[in-house]
């Protein structure tokens, strides 16, 4: 790992039992930091952090970001916040916009307030590529966005506005990370709102036909978890003043269609079980609120944070598929 990453600091990871949060907790502990994990286990999983509970540098706070007292308690003595807690999923926000708003906006504001009151040095938060909305241009550049296409996208855009105001009004340094289709170890394949890669992997392993929404030619900039960890560590560690109070794309900077993705998953899984090669793929209606194409410019992150993503989609899928085969079979 980069020698310039922070160590011997106290870092709060909200949503620390979730897919991205638990991976961040592990990375921070390896760097000899003290880590506080705040989670209410609404979407996070106890098993994601079970192996960390015996570590004297790890503390679990069971609480909800919608409760300001929980936020204040978790922020005591904290140097840096990595705010991952949120209700993800565009379809979920369309079914239940109120809960998405309560967690992603009210909860976010609680965390900003608690971080400000605890004199936290820096607040790094999970933003989203959904903020680009109906903007047509590719690749997506941070300062050109469109109108949001879902309640979820609205909440993530409001986060960016609040973060900016907390810097200009109160001097709280923030960095927003617009994640593009993150995948990798510990991502949950179950539930109505499971992400596409683990869901398809699970279906292939059961010889079930994955269902692609639309004709499969929508494209995404799929981003492996280790690229995301790198960006979070750079964001809390950078000493470049010009890099603060900015929003960055977090991606690899290449796109693949869903058809390409599914074929690649099938090929990689068939190496473990040749019968998977015979599973057919089904197609259904397009999903409301979906953006047709997504591709990130990562120039800003490269220039201001020295971001160097190591994992392409193919390289990331090799690792992810092997992890799923080992852990979910």
Distance of alpha carbon 329 from alpha carbon 112, whole angstroms: 41
Active-site entry in 5, 125, 152, 162: 152
Q: How far is CA 132 from CA 15, 55, 84, 218, 294, in A?
A: 24, 40, 19, 15, 9
Burial status of residue 70 (CB atoms within 10 A of its CB: 0-12, 13-18, 19 or more):
buried
Question: Residue 221's closest CA among 147, 160, 297, 127?
Answer: 297
Active site residue 152: yes
Find the DSSP H helices in the chain: 19-30, 46-49, 68-75, 90-95, 97-101, 107-117, 151-170, 196-205, 225-237, 258-270, 299-305, 313-328
Q: Mind telling me the catalytic residues?
A: 152
């Amino acid at each position: 790992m980069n020698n310039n990453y922070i160590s011997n600091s106290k870092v709060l990871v909200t949503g620390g039992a979730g897919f991205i949060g638990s991976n961040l907790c592990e990375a921070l502990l390896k760097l000899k930091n003290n880590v506080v994990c705040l989670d209410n286990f609404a979407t996070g999983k106890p098993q994601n952090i079970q192996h960390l509970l015996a570590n004297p540098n790890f503390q679990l706070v069971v609480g909800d970001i919608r409760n300001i007292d929980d936020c204040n308690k978790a922020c005591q003595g904290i140097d840096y916040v990595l705010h991952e807690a949120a209700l993800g999923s565009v379809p979920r926000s369309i079914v239940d916009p109120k809960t998405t708003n309560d967690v992603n906006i009210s909860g976010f504001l609680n965390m900003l307030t608690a971080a400000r009151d605890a004199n936290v040095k820096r607040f790094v938060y999970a933003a989203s590529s959904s903020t680009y909305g109906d903007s047509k241009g590719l690749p997506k550049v941070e300062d050109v966005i469109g109108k949001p296409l879902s309640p979820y996208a609205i909440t993530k855009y409001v986060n960016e506005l609040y973060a900016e105001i907390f810097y200009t009004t109160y001097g709280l340094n923030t960095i927003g990370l617009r994640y593009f289709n993150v995948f990798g170890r510990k991502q949950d394949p179950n539930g109505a709102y499971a992400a596409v890669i683990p869901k398809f992997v699970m279906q292939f392993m059961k010889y079930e036909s994955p269902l692609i929404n639309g004709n499969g030619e929508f494209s995404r900039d799929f981003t492996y978890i280790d690229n995301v960890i790198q960006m979070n560590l750079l964001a809390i560690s950078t000493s470049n003043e010009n890099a603060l109070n900015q929003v960055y794309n977090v991606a690899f900077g290449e796109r693949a269609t869903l058809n390409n993705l599914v074929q690649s998953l099938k090929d990689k899984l068939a190496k473990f079980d040749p019968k998977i090669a015979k599973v057919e793929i089904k197609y259904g209606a397009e999903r409301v609120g979906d953006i047709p194409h997504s591709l990130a410019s990562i120039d800003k992150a490269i220039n201001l944070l020295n971001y160097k993503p190591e994992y392409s989609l193919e390289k990331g899928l090799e690792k992810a598929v092997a992890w799923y085969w080992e852990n979910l079979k």
